[in-house]
Copies of this chain bind each other. A is one copy, B any other.
Amino acid sequence: MTLHSNALRDHACLIVHGPDQPGLVAAVTGLITRNKANIVTLDQYSDNPEGGAFFQRVVFHRPDLSAAMPELEADLEKTLGPYGMTWQLTDQSAPKRMAILASTSDHCLLELLWRHRRGELNVTIPMVISNHTNTAEDVRSFGIPFFHVPSQGPDKSAAEAEIVKLLAGNVDFVVLARYMQILSDDFLTNVGVPVINIHHSFLPAFIGAGPYKKAKERGVKLIGATSHYVTKDLDEGPIIEQDVARVTHAMSAGDLQSRGAYVERAVLSRAVQWHAEDRVIRHGNQTIVFT
């Protein structure tokens, strides 16, 4: 939904998760009330009411939120500690800082820049990094810094180090918008923030390289795209969003790629928006998504 910065002033998002147990919802909502805040939306999920895991997302409005944050955090610690819950409180008027990594393909990159310009993504974009230069002019026309970090040869460690240096302390999450380099485990560790990828297949079908070619060979009637958090297991991280498009025998692998580009950009956009709005909670290799 279109975001108006004013509409988010004094709004906080609270994420709570941990072992489900009676009284939890009352404890959280009671806390919000006694802190003079008003609940705007509340979503929750328990994967098993008896002894399962509990997940909750509450957006509330609290006049003079910034001033009240320390008190709120102290109360949360005191209230949720005894329940053994993990929690995270974010001021929604402070957008997350998102870096985009791209290669030659521009469709996912431009879609994100465009939606951002339309005010539909609650993020700032401090930088775009690419191992190619073809998108530099487009990126800069959106008023966003572009950095070129080439990635040649088998040893990617220098390039990865340069990227980490650019990102360090400057971003809250990273989006791989068809970035065609496999990142090392070290990179993921060093970058230290969530990394979201878009894979050009309906995972777990057609894992790895060349999914549209594989889809054509297998003769599938639908192609898809998957956005997921990157983990050290390639194409195996927690899935955030997926979608598909219908294809026919008359389409070539190139046609599939062209058609698929529109699925990719839609799927990645939704995943990024949901992550930016703290709607996605990772749970093992799965996600809870409160849309």
Binding site for B on A (CB under 8 A): 1-2, 22-26, 29-30, 32-33, 36-46, 49, 61, 107, 110, 114, 118, 120, 141, 202-206, 218-222, 224, 238-244, 248-252, 254-255, 257-259, 262, 266, 285-289
Contact = CB atoms under 8 A, between A and B. Distances in A.
A268 to B, nearest CB: 13
A26 B22 contact: no
A142 B110 CA distance: 13
A242 B224 contact: no
A42 B44 contact: yes
Given A25-B29, A289-B248, A202 B219 contact: no
A230 to B, nearest CB: 15
B249 A221 contact: no
A249 B33 contact: no
Contacts of A244: 222, 244
Contact of A61 (B41, B44, B49, B288): B49
A173 B240 CA distance: 39
B203 A120 contact: no
A242 B266 contact: no
24 contacts: A2-B258, A22-B36, A22-B37, A22-B38, A25-B39, A26-B29, A26-B32, A29-B29, A39-B44, A41-B45, A42-B44, A45-B250, A49-B61, A202-B222, A203-B205, A203-B218, A218-B239, A219-B238, A219-B286, A220-B242, A221-B241, A222-B224, A222-B244, A244-B244
